[in-house]
Amino acid sequence: MNELIPDLYKSYGNYVNKSKMLPNNIDGLLPVQKRILLTVHLVAKNTFVKTSKILGECMARFHPHSEASGTVFWGVQNCFIDGDGQWGTKIGTDPIGPAAPRYTKVRANSEIEAVAFELINYVEWKEDELDPEPIIIPTPIPFCLISKYELRSIAFGYKTEIPCFKKEDLIKRFLFISGNAKKKFIPKPHIDGCDVVSSENECLELLETGKGKINIIGKYVIDENNQTISINGWNPRIAFSTLINKIDKYNDYNLLTNGEIGYIDQSTKNGTIVIFEVLRTRNKDDIFEKMKESIIESLKDNLTYNIIVTDINGNTIFSSVDEMIQNSYNFYKKTMINFLNTKINNLNLIIEEYKNILKIRPHVTDCFNFNNFDESVDYINSKTNLSKEGIKNILEKYKIKKIITVQLDIPKMQHEILEIKNNLSCIDAVVLDQYTNLFK
């Protein structure tokens, strides 16, 4: 037992990390996130569908675990899925969760469809836990890096904390590290409701190593005339109640406890607005100065990041932002090559079929003189030397009228093949152009 249990425990841990709790280092998705996005693509591509139907389909076809309603909420909140109904909000002092899945609907997001699912049939699909599913979503940029909210997950022996960035910033960063842009570009993480105040070197360390501490400050606006302060965001990892406690306890001023200041939540769908004001008339100027100090200092904080992901084989690895965007681009290019080669093969098959139709066409009307299908096949075989199987396939696939009248523009298709081969010969330039235009 002493020898057996550690091995089983390790196997279980590896399964948890690979199949549940860590994102992939190429598409930046947890397995359940990939499956929800895939299900929405398959079931709700063009119209809104009940969320409960999406959850049921996902569990039945790909994900034999919990119903993953929280993952659908993740998709809607990060604008990867279009939502209809009451989907909750993270705006204001009291976050609101979504309504029950039977009351909400979802639909595939058109931008995500164009960016990540255009080539979905040209990656490998294989069985993982239930039905075959794509091993990777072929996105040009990892999802976790372009989320609105950071990805944090506790796995078996690991905790991963992954920053997110603006899409256009990651594209600029990739162009630099890939040698396609000379100007050095070091993007700062995008933290909703906060400004990043870390140095360029601190941001660079995060990009190159996947580890680092980023200093932030919540967004605020001071109105000196009315002696109010409007807070528009704070550390996303803490609740508003924690922030209030920090403000109150700062320097032992106890401004809230003593009733010297108060606040009101005037947030709208456009963003968080929490207005603090002085409640006392005596020593109002002094209290206002203390309130400014308390709020500004309490809004200062830092976030630590440590990117831990799984590779394509399911191994747990440390990664960096630069490595993830490079891996994603390389996989996207590989998938694009597969798409173009498949297109060439399909065109060649059609050309070959059209050539056979041209051979059959002069003799097809003679088939009316025969009593059965096999005699017609034998006759055409004797006139064209085409295989009987090939003749049968064409006669069964096309109506006689179509065989006689269909426009067989073989030169046009041959020209298309030539253009595709030209693209393959300069695939890096083609994919790079596609890559930089996807998010415009």
Q: Which amino acid is at 336?
A: M
What is the arithmetic mean of pLDDT over 184-189? Answer: 96
Predicted TM-score of the model (pTM): 0.89
13-148 and 216-304 share one fold? no
Contact between 82 and 107 under an 8 Å Cβ cutoff? The reply is yes
Instruction: Kindly state the helix (H) or strand (E) to which residue 263 belongs, with its residue range.
Output: strand 261-265
| Domain assignments of the chain as residue spans, ordered by start | 13-148, 216-304, 334-437
Task: Compute the 3-state secondary structure of the chain and give helix, strand, coil in percent, each to the nearest 5.
Answer: 50, 15, 35
Task: Kindly give, in sequence order, each residue whose CB lies less than 8 Å from that of residue 419, ignoring residues fewer than 6 positions away.
Answer: none
**CATH class in words for 13-148:** alpha beta
Residue-wise pLDDT for 306-355, tens only, equals 999 999 888 889 999 999 999 999 999 999 999 999 999 999 999 998 88
Burial readout 152-191 (b: 16 or more C-beta within 10 A, e: otherwise):
ebebbebebbbbbbebebbbbbbbbbbeeeeeeebbbbbb
- For residue 2, pLDDT over 70 is answered with no
So what CATH class is 216-304?
Answer: alpha beta
How do residues 365-411 score in pLDDT, each as one tens digit? 887 777 788 888 888 888 888 999 988 888 888 777 777 777 778 89
pLDDT, tens digit (0-9, with 9 covering 90-100), for 236-264? 999 999 999 999 999 999 999 999 999 99
pLDDT given at position 71 = 93
The whole-angstrom separation of Cα 192 and Cα 146 is 12
At residue 169, the pLDDT reads 95
Q: Which is more confident, 176 or 10?
A: 176
273-298 tens-digit pLDDT: 999 999 998 999 999 999 999 999 99
For the segment 24-52, the average pLDDT, to the nearest whole number, is: 96
Asked if the model's pLDDT at residue 362 lies above 90, the reply is: no
